[in-house]
Structure 1
Amino acid sequence: MKRTAINYLMVTGLAIILFSFSFIKTGNIRGKVLPAEAAAEVLAVLGSDTLKTVVNNGNFTFPNIKTGTYTILVKGIPPYKDVSIKNVAVIDSVTTDVGVVKLQQ
């Protein structure tokens, strides 16, 4: 009887741990910067959370970020100016493409 109770608790605990991770909702953001050498980093801001990624050959990606509505900030390398894109929606299991971001001098 004691062994059955311990097995039951172990199985229940394992199930809770496994299912708790399935409720985390994530998506992706990607885009392209032109000219490719105009920016070195891109930020994604959601409330007080800020994520940072690098620009690689003009492309940037934020993989596996939590769902919500982000503001994307492309930090220009002088003489290029910063650009912000508001209301970028991240939906569970979807990649949101912000398209081409053209930086101006």
Structure 2
Amino acid sequence: MKRAGLNILVATALSLGLFAFGSIKQGGIQGKVTPAEGAKEVLAIAGTDTLRSQINNGAFVFSNVKKGTYMVWVKANAPYKDISVENVAVADSATTDIGEIKLMQ
């Protein structure tokens, strides 16, 4: 009986611990590319992780991004040139706005 109670207590503690870690909200990255028609694709890269975002009228949003430092890379349509933004810091439960990214020809 004593052992069964201990097993239940341990199982409950483990469940609560996993729930607490699962409730941490991840961050995000947002910005805008101008001119909008110049942007082909936007990527966020950290180590071996690569995220892709849809572009809507030049605006992009990366959601559920793990905490860390990213490079945001805009792949451009000709005649524009690719551009990157380095050292974009993402914190849990926060969206980092990197503002406007202007493509050059």
TM-score by length of 1: 0.85
Indicate the residue corresponding to 2:76 in structure 1: 76
Indicate the residue corresponding to 1:11 in structure 2: 12
**Cα distance in 2, alignment partners of residues 67 and 10 from structure 1:** 29
User: How many residues of Structure 1 are paired with residues of Structure 2 in the alignment?
Assistant: 104
**Counterpart AA for 1:46:** A
Indicate the residue corresponding to 1:20 in structure 2: 21
Retained in 2: the 8 A contact 1:40–1:54? no
Aligned runs of 1:75-94 on 2, under 5 Å? 75-94=75-94
Indicate the residue corresponding to 1:33 in structure 2: 33
Indicate the residue corresponding to 2:59 in structure 1: 59
- Post-superposition offset of 1:44: 0.5
**Cα distance in 2, alignment partners of residues 15 and 27 from structure 1:** 23
Runs (5+) with no aligned partner, structure 2: none
Alignment deviations for residues 5-63 of structure 1 (CA, whole Å, 9 cap, x no partner):
454344233213212314x5621110001011111210111111111112111100011
RMSD over equivalenced CA pairs, Å: 1.8
Q: What percentage of aligned pairs have identical amino acids?
A: 49
Retained in 2: the 8 A contact 1:25–1:67? no
